[in-house]
Amino acid sequence: MVETFDNLMLGFSIALQPQILVYAFAGCIIGTLVGMMPGLGPLAGISILLPATFGLNPIIAIVLLAGVYYGAMYGGSTTSILMRIPGEAASVMTCVDGYEMTKNGRAGPALAIAAIGSFIAGTFGVIGLMLLAPTLAGWALRFGPPEYTALLMMGLFILAYMSGGSMLKTLAMAGFGLALGMIGIDAMSGYTRFSMGIVELGDGVGIVPVAVGLFGISEILITAGQAAGEKVQKPKLRDLIPSREEFRLSAGPIGRGSLLGFLIGIIPGSAHIISSFVSYGIERRLARDPERFGKGAIEGVAGPESANNAAASGAFVPMMALGVPTSPVTAVMIAAIMVHGISPGPLLMSQQPELFWGFVASMYVGNVVLLILNLPMVGLFVNLLRIPYSYLYPGILCFCILGTYSVANSLIDVWIMLIMGGVGYVLRKFRYDLAPVALGLVLAPMLELSLRQSLAMSAGDYGIFLERPIATTMLVLGLVLFLLAIRPLIFKGKDWRSTVGLEEQQN
Amino acid sequence: MTAQTPQTPDKRGLKSDQFSGLLLVVLALYIGWANREYPIGSLQEPGPGYMPLLLAIFLGSMGLLIAFWGGHSAPLRAVRWPEAMRAVVILIACGVAAFALERIGYRLTVIALMIFFLGVMERRRPLPVALVAVGFGFISFYVVADLLHVPLPRSPWGL
């Protein structure tokens, strides 16, 4: 504990440097704006900003990008509450009761509770990251190729189990992403695979064009041409203070949302989205008068907003401790760190303590910045929502092209982005979850390498996964979840989604 | 496993999940076919074609299962595409912009793209369109290329 405290002090000595504070502040503002804009979620925002971080030192780069990430989580709630437009997917549930509160003239308290809940959950998530990541990293030092293979397989099974939609579709999308990850030079044999004679594809398909295409472009293709938005309410500072009763009703959902969000954040998939759905379902089930939900219940804002912010912090645990991304956002952030020659993973904390602890401390600072920023300046940010969408989406498209091109100065990346945009549009029409595609793409090289190394170690015997206790445990856990996930398909029963009301809410 | 909620129950015709599942099977078959060029290797020493083959089998199996269990999903014709034409036009415009980017430079490409979207597609008034397009092109170039030092293509005329 003393060592953790010393390390945290080291982190604060870095995070409180004026230069880093400025970048944390800039990241939070950009993130808030990005989160408010439909079609430009945290992933597209981070991807577009990625090339600009290449010239920065790695601590500043990650502080800036992390600021964008959790800033977007905050920002998404503003449009959800005031306009019933989720700036990013995790804010969908906030729309339901948040907008009803706005119609009832309680937009201010809804915004305030969303910001306070996000602050508490974000801080809770950072404490969890600080305590859990070093322990997990120490444990992961014992991992060899079989353990990594089992970990990645378990991650994919958990992803399927926890997906908001169909388990089969989620697995199919993970398989599609893994197949995309096969494009390029095979690290072990030197063969160039599936490149179709395009030299640039030798380096493989990058996460940025795929992510921006799937999440940014496809969103614009779906939403472009929609009718103009409604008039936006602009709450005054004095209207923001919630009543004593609203505080009392929000305390439980914020606490539960923080814990739930953090735990869901650690596992792979669209954790921040799922956590907000699950939190809403749980709060509705726990409420004495669930009929208030959907008509402006403050618990319906407090729970999901806390959960999605805690999940954003939770996602950093496996990223930092294991070097394994659990979401497309953390995958892009790993790419950002690796550009500087630093590999996230078990050795990061011992070899680069100033980076890890500076990052942790900057998240504390970022949460404070966002609380200060979001409440008094909400009126200012709301002005952005007055820009007609017909002016906004061409700008977003230009930023998508710009951001994707600048990562490697490659037009091939822009073409990949456009193709993935079209693919994402079609897949969304057929209700496929897109996050597993991006995740599969990132995990593919790790999974292939560790599987082939494991088989080489055991002279081709798959039994190696059953001889090593950690690998066996992870595989059994993954398999159990997989069997639980397919049980409702075979026996026509209900699964956890219907238990928390997720299917109902998605429809 | 359902796509769009059908207007009326219809038991005839292909369902949306059956269609998308079969598309995945076709994709898996293509991967398997393209993978024939790479050695599979042995279990002791898996080759570059080993993992893609496993993935093709996995993807094909998932596609078949989706199609098999997709009988209760919405009919394929119930999936609505009201914005498809607009989406195609947007993609084509972006494709043309990608083609032009390194030939006429970032600023001219972005200005042309903005004029197309705002003036032609959204039918906004010419003066605001011109101001927004030129302003966006030059200001974004200044911020990204000059302030953040990210190299962006210039036109042969220096723009």
pLDDT in tens, chain A (507 residues): 677 788 888 888 888 889 888 888 889 888 888 887 766 778 778 877 887 787 788 888 888 888 888 888 788 788 778 877 666 667 777 888 888 888 888 888 888 898 889 889 988 988 888 888 888 887 777 788 998 888 888 878 877 776 656 888 989 999 999 999 999 999 888 899 999 889 889 989 988 889 888 888 888 898 865 655 556 666 666 677 888 888 899 999 999 999 988 888 887 665 667 788 778 888 888 888 888 888 888 998 999 889 988 888 888 888 888 888 877 788 888 888 887 788 888 888 888 888 888 888 888 888 888 888 777 777 777 777 777 878 888 988 998 898 888 888 889 999 999 999 999 999 999 989 888 888 888 889 889 999 999 998 888 888 888 888 888 998 898 888 778 777 766 666 665 555 555 554 444
Does B113 touch chain A if contact means CB atoms closer than 8 Å? yes
Nearest to A169 by CA among A430, A444, A448: A430
Instruction: In whole angstroms, give the CA distance from residue A157 to residue A485.
Output: 9
- According to DSSP, residue A228 is labeled P
Nearest CA in chain A to B137: A398
pLDDT at residue A72 in the model: 84
The answer to whether residues B97 and B124 belong to one domain is yes
The answer to whether residues B88 and B55 belong to one domain is no
How would you class B44 by CB atoms within 10 Å of its CB: exposed for 0-12, middle for 13-18, buried for 19 or more?
exposed
Q: Are A475 and A150 in contact (CB under 8 A)?
A: yes
The answer to whether residues B91 and B72 belong to one domain is no
**Which of B25, B50, B78 is the C-terminal boundary of a domain?**
B78
Paired residues of B41 in beta bridges: B46
Instruction: In whole angstroms, give the CA distance from residue A385 to residue A382.
Output: 5
pLDDT at B1 over 50: no
pLDDT at residue B132 in the model: 94
**Mutate which: B2, B27, B90, vs A, most A CBs within 10 A:** B90
Q: Are A258 and A125 in contact (CB under 8 A)?
A: yes
The answer to whether residues B71 and B96 belong to one domain is no
Cβ distance A169 to B2 less than 8 Å, yes or no, reads no
**Mutate which: A152, A188, A431, vs B, most B CBs within 10 A:** A431
pLDDT at residue A226 in the model: 64
Alpha-helical segments (H) within A343-467 = 348-351, 353-374, 378-382, 389-408, 411-429, 435-457, 464-467
Residues in A touching B140 (Cβ below 8 Å): 398-399, 402
Q: For residue B104, tell me if it sits in a domain.
A: yes
What is the tally of helices (H) and strands (E) in chain A?
25, 2
Domain extent for B66: 16-78
Nearest CA in chain B to A227: B122
Paired tokens of A298? 């403050």
Cβ distance B50 to A429 less than 8 Å, yes or no, reads no
The answer to whether residues B73 and B88 belong to one domain is no
The answer to whether residues B103 and B67 belong to one domain is no
Query: What is the CB neighbour count within 10 angstroms for residue A152?
Result: 23
SS (H, E, C) A141-200: CCCCHHHHHHHHHHHHHHHHHHCCCCHHHHHHHHHHHHHHCCCEECCCCCCEECCCCCHH
pLDDT at B83 over 60: yes
Residue with tokens 């408010």: A36
Shortest distance between the Cα of A20 and any Cα of chain B, in A, equals: 16
Q: Which value does ipTM take for this structure?
A: 0.91
Shortest distance between the Cα of B11 and any Cα of chain A, in A, equals: 18
The answer to whether residues B65 and B93 belong to one domain is no
Q: Are A402 and A60 in contact (CB under 8 A)?
A: no
**Which of B58, B78, B98 is the C-terminal boundary of a domain?**
B78
Phi, psi of A227 (to 5 degrees): -65, 155
> What are the distances in angstroms from CA A270 to CA A36, A147, A264, A326, B50?
19, 24, 9, 8, 29
Query: What is the CB neighbour count within 10 angstroms for residue A381?
Result: 21
Residues in A touching B58 (Cβ below 8 Å): 171, 175
Measured between CB atoms, which of A172, A191, A451 is closest to B63? A172
Q: For residue B1, tell me if it sits in a domain.
A: no
SS3 call for A192: strand
Phi, psi of B33 (to 5 degrees): -70, -45
Query: What is the CB neighbour count within 10 angstroms for residue A458?
Result: 17
SS3 call for A289: coil
Q: For residue B11, tell me if it sits in a domain.
A: no
Nearest CA in chain A to B24: A172
Shortest distance between the Cα of A6 and any Cα of chain B, in A, equals: 35
The answer to whether residues B98 and B72 belong to one domain is no
Domain boundaries, chain A: 2-227+241-506
The answer to whether residues B73 and B108 belong to one domain is no
Residues in B touching A164 (Cβ below 8 Å): none
- According to DSSP, residue A327 is labeled S
Instruction: In whole angstroms, give the CA distance from residue A507 to residue A76.
Output: 21
Residue with tokens 């290797």: B41
Angle at A395 between CA A391 and CA A400, to 5 degrees: 150
Contact residues for A390 (Cβ-Cβ < 8 A; gap 6+): A228, B118, B122, B124
Paired tokens of B112? 């042309």
Task: Tell me how many domains chain B contains.
Answer: 2
Q: For residue B40, tell me if it sits in a domain.
A: yes
> What are the distances in angstroms from CA A381 to CA A43, A67, A103, A415, B38?
20, 17, 20, 33, 54
The answer to whether residues B74 and B102 belong to one domain is no
> A233: alpha, beta or left, given left = phi > 0 and alpha = psi -120 to 50?
beta
Higher pLDDT, B139 or A435: B139
Q: For residue B44, tell me if it sits in a domain.
A: yes
Q: For residue B143, tell me if it sits in a domain.
A: yes
Does B139 touch chain A if contact means CB atoms closer than 8 Å? no
Q: What is the pLDDT of residues B99-127, one digit of tens each?
A: 999 999 999 999 999 999 999 998 999 99
pLDDT at residue A507 in the model: 42
Give the number of beta-carbon pairs within 8 Å between A and B. Answer: 166
Residues in A touching B75 (Cβ below 8 Å): none
pLDDT at residue A9 in the model: 86
Instruction: In whole angstroms, give the CA distance from residue B105 to residue B87.
Output: 25
Predicted model pTM = 0.82
Shortest distance between the Cα of A487 and any Cα of chain B, in A, equals: 13
Nearest to B141 by CA among B111, B117, B116: B111
- According to DSSP, residue A81 is labeled H
Instruction: In whole angstroms, give the CA distance from residue B133 to residue B119.
Output: 10
> What are the distances in angstroms from CA A242 to CA A75, A219, A298, A302, B59?
19, 34, 10, 12, 51
Residues in A touching B132 (Cβ below 8 Å): 391
Residues in A touching B62 (Cβ below 8 Å): 168, 171-172, 175
- Amino acid identity, position A248: R
Cβ distance B65 to A176 less than 8 Å, yes or no, reads no
Q: For residue B10, tell me if it sits in a domain.
A: no
The answer to whether residues B56 and B94 belong to one domain is no
pLDDT at residue A502 in the model: 52
Higher pLDDT, B61 or A62: B61
Nearest to A81 by CA among A387, A392, A298: A298
Residues in B touching A455 (Cβ below 8 Å): 43-46
The answer to whether residues B74 and B94 belong to one domain is no
Cβ distance A430 to B16 less than 8 Å, yes or no, reads yes
Paired residues of A185 in beta bridges: A192
Measured between CB atoms, which of B35, B59, B101 is closest to A411? B101
pLDDT at B8 over 70: no
Cβ distance A431 to B3 less than 8 Å, yes or no, reads yes
Percent helix, strand, coil in chain A, to 5, is 75, 0, 25
Residues in A touching B56 (Cβ below 8 Å): 179
Q: Are A237 and B96 in contact (CB under 8 A)?
A: no
pLDDT band at B2 (very low <50, low <70, confident <90, very high): very low
- According to DSSP, residue A481 is labeled H
Q: For residue B41, tell me if it sits in a domain.
A: yes
Q: What is the dihedral of CA A386, A388, A394, A399, to 10 degrees?
A: 10
Cβ distance A406 to B55 less than 8 Å, yes or no, reads no
